[in-house]
Structure 1
Amino acid sequence: MTDLKLSAESIMTRADRLAEFSADEGQLTRAYLTPEHRAAHQQLAIWMTDAGLETWGDSVGNQWGRKVSPNPTQPTLVLGSHSDTVTNAGKYDGNLGVLLAIEALSLLRDVTLPFHVDVVAFADEEGTRFNTTLIGSSAVAGRYDRNWLSVADSDGVTIGQAMEQFGLSPEQAGMDARQPSDVQAYLEVHIEQGPVLEARNLPVGVVTGIAGAKRFQCQVKGMAGHAGTVPIHLRKDAMCGVAEMVLCIESYAEQRGIVATVGICDTVKGAINVIPGEVHFTIDIRSAKQALLEDSAHELMQKLADIAKQRHLALTSQTIYQATAVECNETLTQRWSNVVEKLTGHTPCLLPSGAGHDAMAMAHLAPIAMLFVRCDKGISHHPLENVIVDDVKVALDCLIEMIKTFDTPADSILAHHFKH
């Protein structure tokens, strides 16, 4: 087989090239249904063709390539990740997984398999332009929400209008969804976006599941007053109440083994010499265990209500986002663990993903499994996001080996999946 180190170096070069398709000079920003989206997918299509794949774009702007089986006796295996980015992004989030899949199929060009293998570059995982996430993968999984078509960007352009400008038909969006009986599994390779693998000095890790999330918008109201004339014990200081709430959120999360973050905190009409009368803040709560997420969110909001009551403040909150935790398939997770141990000689690191991925949507279609690649200092969604070529080589080796494990006629991975 071709030297995998050379293939890994080629992937790094292609990541550099893909990063040039950006809306912003000097930084990487590539959003859904933009000229940069089109240009990046045109480049991916060229690389897919070079790898011997049949290529096409689908109804929502995802880019596909297929390694065609001359005699497919099993459902299609799908590999992929996303090609869109956040604002001022790094080069590897999402994009690395797409490039690894293309290179893996290029190296398997002369290997005949009893199933088609598809690679997909999902068009909108991040939601940078329209504040919607997982549009590309949701459409493939048969969960396209027609209400998305009326969602507008900051310029007032709706997704439906943007699709028409892009050359797509809004009426056809999601109509080419895959059927569960036609897909045997979905595999995604992704940078870890965290520091665990680096701390353990391991190139790759096997994902056990993807955390669910709940997000809340909270408002705390007290009484504004003069900063010099109202004694401390007579104040209803909304900011002091929120400060206590933030520390409560931090300590509670640590006790329960979840993560919780206050990402935004704003004083409404605040001034340097005024006691804060109203403060708005957000909470992001995540756990890989859905039951724990639900219980924790309920209990935590009750604790915040108690703080408000003790301080004679009014607390209101709205749930603004929720995503259900998704478990990776146990059989595939074990299979990938075996591959990692075989190729690296290390006991595989099993870890959950605290970030969302296209695999969350694809889990509604097929069994899913994910492989994480170590990233420098765990940095992601930032220009300093980085991976090293030796780790990319290991990930490529593992992906190729994982694809080969499906080449067993008696092995229809999960019989229960096809009964649905």
Structure 2
Amino acid sequence: MTNTVAHTAFNQSELGRALIDRLDEAAQYSEPGPGVTRLFCSQAHRQVLPLIGRWMEQAGLTPQLDAAGNLVGRCPKAQAGEKTFIMGSHQDSVIEGGKYDGMLGVALPLLALEALKREDVTLPFGVEVVAFGDEEGVRFPTTLVGSKALAGSVTPDQLEAQDAEGISLREALIAFGCTPEDIPATAREPANTLGFLEVHIEQGPILEQRDHAVGIVTALTGIERHKVTLSGKAGHAGTTPMNMRHDALVGAAEMVLAIDSVLQNTDELVGVVGRLDVHPNAVNVIPAQVTFTIELRSPKATIRQQGRDVVTAALTEVATRRGLALNIENTYSADAVACADWMMTALEQACTQVSQPAERMFSGAGHDGLAMQALTDIGMLFVRCKDGLSHHPDEAITAEDGEAATRVIMAFLQQLKHP
């Protein structure tokens, strides 16, 4: 490869400012309200694609929307079928999220590739950058649809998952201009894939504590999600005696506290009851049914299983004591996965090359690598975020840290050698 710096190269401060400007522009494609709300196959998703497509073209890639709602940019070598290294992250957000979760991992590698292009650097392998359509799993009760498509692990039942309006994922993809029946054909060949790397904000406080711009991820946490349906009996709120009620909401409230107690008292286990729906949700009617979600996370599968068993026993006890019907449905499960040693080493070498201290660290959040590890080796670079805050409108990074991370990726790509 060549490494001749042309007069059009970005200088040492332009990359960080350009990155922040791009992320600010992408954040405009959102539903109204605080922060960024951009759900899978939504109007905001549709509107942001031309912007990402322009970034891809500026980086020398050709953008294409695939059957699973991913926007994929490929360089000529990748299009020709040469061995390819994949980078990327998700474009979707949580409700009222921030500018950087997900979209940073789309904009930053594209900016790094554009900078290398300006410096007349030619990489000896193909490159793909993917803006995954769905990672958060907010609109549909499934997650990682985009990365699972590349890994070849999307199942027919996932396509039948429905959103709150009763629209199935299959229907949403068709309305978005995709062809769900072609999803199996989007799976990449493992032998032709060199690896997958994602850049992401840390979503935690460790890098701030270390005063480091970036960190190298060792593994991604295991995650499981459950849908709990608690059924009681509706009745008049003024005429039904208190001791004769089967109030699903009171039972659910007790269950939420029981779940919190388990989480508070179990090391290496975290979780949340993140969504709760009440029916009939009327001011003067005893709640007949409550549906809520439970998410459990731990780097150790045995701890998650033990926590799940204790939670299930506690919920069963509450339901029995209050005369309520209980149904618990597992909607998602993914074990923890390790990042490849060779990629962690390559990232460390890249950090050293651009004078950035970087230590290894565990990810307490799940990412697209959970699905991509079924296809290829994975790696991840964390970028410091203010106060460790994520999934919030005040989520923030600095231009200086964005600059540092972009330089790391540029160095990583230039010295990348697959084992």
Q: Give the TM-score band, short-chain normalised.
A: 0.7 to 0.9
Cα offset, 1:331, TM superposition: 2.8
2:364 to 348, 353, 358: 353
1:46 corresponding residue in structure 2: 54
Counterpart of 1:40 in 2: which secondary structure? helix
- Counterpart of 1:106 (choices 79, 98, 114) is 114
Shift of 1:338: 4.2
| TM-score, scaled to structure 2 | 0.82
Specify whether residues 275 and 391 from structure 1 end up closer, same or farther in structure 2 by C-alpha distance, changes over 3 A only.
same
1:8 is aligned to 2:16: yes
Counterpart residue identity of residue 43, structure 1: L
Contact 2:276–2:290 (8 Å) recurs in 1? yes
What code does the residue aligned with 1:401 have? A
**1:329 pairs with 2:340:** yes
Sequence identity percentage:
35
The residue number in structure 2 matching 1:387 is 397
Quote the Cα distance in structure 2 between the aligned partners of 1:319 and 1:398. Answer: 43
* Match 1:90 to one of 83, 91, 98: 98
Contact map agreement 1:74 1:184 (CA 8 A) in 2: no
CA contact (8 A) 1:69 1:112 kept: no
How many residues matched? 405
Shift of 1:243: 6.4
1:177 paired to 2:202: no
Q: Structure 1 unaligned runs (5+)? A: 414-420
The separation in 1 between residues aligned to 2:322 and 2:39, in whole angstroms, is: 45
Could you say what secondary structure the match of 2:13 adopts? helix
- Which segment drifts farther, 68-77 or 286-295? 68-77
Deviation at 1:237, TM superposition (A): 9.3
Is the 1:214–1:297 Cα contact (8 Å) retained in structure 2? no
Look up the equivalent residue of 2:393 and give its one-letter code: P
Change (3 A) 1:360 1:335: same
Structure 1-normalised TM-score?
Answer: 0.81
- Could you tell me which runs of 5 or more consecutive residues in structure 2 were left unpaired when the two chains were aligned: none
Alignment partner of 1:118: what SS?
strand
Q: How does 1:141-152 map to 2 (within 5 A)?
A: 141-152=151-162
2:409 aligned counterpart, secondary structure = helix
**Inter-partner Cα distance in structure 2 for 1:137 and 1:84:** 13
- The residue matched to 1:181 in structure 2 has which SS? helix
Checking the alignment, whether the CA contact within 8 Å between 1:219 and 1:316 is kept in structure 2 is yes
CA distance in 2, matches of 1:193, 1:29: 18
**1:146 & 1:277 partners in 2: Cα distance?**
32
1:227, CA displacement in angstroms? 12
- Give the secondary-structure state (helix, strand or coil) at the position aligned to 1:111: coil
RMSD: 3.7
- Asked if structure 1 preserves the Cα contact closer than 8 Å seen for 2:35 and 2:392, the reply is no
User: What's the offset of the Cα at 1:25?
Assistant: 6.5
* Matching residue of 2:307: 296
Q: Which residue of 1 aligns with 2:266?
A: 255
- Are residue 284 (structure 1) and residue 295 (structure 2) matched? yes
The whole-number CA distance in structure 2 between the counterparts of 1:273 and 1:47 is: 54
Structure 1 contact 261–284 (Cα < 8 Å) conserved: yes
- 1:4–1:396 contact (8 Å) kept in structure 2: no
Match of 1:372 among 373, 382, 385: 382
**CA separation of 1:333 and 1:21: change in aligned 2, threshold 3 A:** same
